[in-house]
Amino acid sequence: MATSPSPDVQSLSYEEARDELIRVVGELEQGSATLEQSLALWERGEALAARCEQWLIGARERLDAARSGAAVE
């Protein structure tokens, strides 16, 4: 498991959060982490998944706004 400090989840772009989430899932699937490490990875993964969802919701809202704006014209 990486020992470098992880950046704040809220500062990550969608792509950064997605890529780190993939890495975290891979580490969990290996099953070589201790229980404490696995819990920390799980918590990080949950936060990363929520960040990705925030980005996707924001993108959906922007698309919906663009569509409704285009329909009004």
Encode pLDDT of 22-35 as tens digits. Answer: 999 999 999 999 99
Q: Taking the model in full, what pTM does it have?
A: 0.81
Query: How many other CB atoms are there within 10 angstroms of residue 37's CB atom?
Result: 13
Between CA 59 and CA 10 the distance in angstroms is 16
Domains and CATH numbers, the chain: 13-72 (1.10.287)
The band of 6, judged by pLDDT with boundaries at 50, 70 and 90, is confident
In angstroms, the Cα distances linking 26 to 30, 32, 33, 68 are 6, 11, 11, 40
